[in-house]
Amino acid sequence: MSAKQENEGAGQQANPAPLAGITVIEFTHMVMGPSVGVILGDLGADVIKVEPPEGDRTRTLLGSGSGYFPMFNRNKRSICLDLKNPDDLKHAQALCADADVVIENFRPGTLARLGLGYEALSEANPGLIYCSAKGFLKGPYEERTALDEVTQMMGGLAYMTGPPGRPLRAGSSVIDITGGMFGVIGILAALEQRHRTGKGAEIKCSLYETTAFLVGQHIAQKAVTGAAARPMPVRISAWAIYDVFETANEGEQLFVGVVSDGQWKTFCADFGMTELAARTEWETNNERVKARDEIIPVVSALFRSMPREELVAKLEKSGLPFAPIAKPEELVDDAHLNAGGGLLDVTLADGTVARLPALPLEIDGMRPGLFRDLPRPDEHGDELRNRIAGTGR
């Protein structure tokens, strides 16, 4: 551990993080399960990641999976155990016997067959909170194998993201991560319940039901309007100006949104759009939406005549919503993220330091930080085995 990380760990003890003193045992891989663990770890829990003897296979994924391990496994300790080996299985059971929380995302029934399911573990540890991250909650699909992309497709999100006839998954593991967030919500609720009852709980979070929750606004739209929601690229926007526009700089675009009647007046005044402002019938949002085909060409022509820097300066001064179209890697140099503690330095397996996003939270004005760097496989194994041996378990 670097001196920086040791200092951060000492700071955590001096000013305990919200979940300091909570022990979490994590039997997970890929994204959904580890996202539960990293959130709890960032909030100060002692997260112990149980890996197979060769290490979590997510460590060596290629292509779009190569960022999974470094993003979702900081602030954790690692122990490698072969759960088919009786001695290692006893070590795993002993870790769970002293834990506050267990997280797992294996296929349904896998850990239960090893004596690591909720029913068996809660007998020895009645206060245990056990979170299973699955593809589906209880129902006809419960035993199906699911992936983020599978549930985006069957849950309507891919249909809403791509143009008609071309379903398209979102550009991030959004369901894995959001599903993990719901797992954390369930765990925190169960911890609060345990304060009152002394009893643990079994929590399940899922990919499919998370997807359904995220498209709930579109289901509600059909109920309200009687018309099915159209995919986002061809939707009828709720606002007349809510789009990506070209600027005078080739290849440089900006998203601009004007989402209230007050912002419409500001936009027209600051950009000298006197002809648009003179149309009194456009003073209300819904009338502007109906006239979008008239408004957008005028605004597009104006923005194409202006350099991007000039547009950004005007929009920022006016307080209107806008955004440059950024690539993920560009966020590493983002002035706002760098100024606010929004990026954490983690060390990759080859020694490279990567700057990755912190939790998007402030607690008493502070951002959750880095207490432990990415663990090497079994980095904390001897320490944890010695602790288990010391308890006589």
Sheet holding 76-80, edge to edge: 76-80, 46-51, 23-27, 101-104, 129-134, 201-206
In this structure, whether the domain defined by 237-326 belongs to CATH 3.50.50.60 is answered with: no
Burial (0-12, 13-18, 19+ Cβ within 10 Å), 242 = middle
CA–CA distance, 149 with 310 (Å, rounded to integer) = 40
CA–CA distance, 90 with 56 (Å, rounded to integer) = 20
pLDDT of 4 = 39
CA–CA distance, 369 with 8 (Å, rounded to integer) = 8
pLDDT of 349 = 95
CA–CA distance, 212 with 328 (Å, rounded to integer) = 26
User: Is residue 264 within 8 Å of 288, Cβ to Cβ?
Assistant: yes
pLDDT along the chain (393 residues), means of 10: 41 71 97 98 98 96 96 98 97 97 94 97 97 97 95 98 96 98 98 97 98 98 96 89 95 95 96 93 95 95 95 95 95 93 96 97 94 97 93 67
Tokens of 242: 């809510």
Q: Longest Cα pair distance anywhere in the chain, in angstroms? A: 83
Angle at 188 between CA 182 and CA 190, to 5 degrees: 105
CA–CA distance, 350 with 371 (Å, rounded to integer) = 20
pLDDT of 390 = 85
pLDDT of 14 = 52
Structural domain boundaries of the chain? Answer: 3-215+334-391, 237-326
Q: Which of 130, 127, 155, 48 is nearest to 92 (CA)?
A: 48
Active site amino acids: 176
Q: Which of 204, 210, 208 is nearest to 102 (CA)?
A: 204
Distances (CA, A) of 326 to 189, 251, 252, 307: 36, 12, 10, 17
Architecture of domain 3-215+334-391: 3-Layer(aba) Sandwich (3.40)
pLDDT of 1 = 38
Q: Which of 374, 344, 340, 368 is nearest to 17 (CA)?
A: 368
pLDDT of 393 = 65
pLDDT of 235 = 85
Q: Is 55 left (phi over 0), alpha (psi -120 to 50) or beta?
A: left
pTM given for the model: 0.91
CA–CA distance, 134 with 147 (Å, rounded to integer) = 9
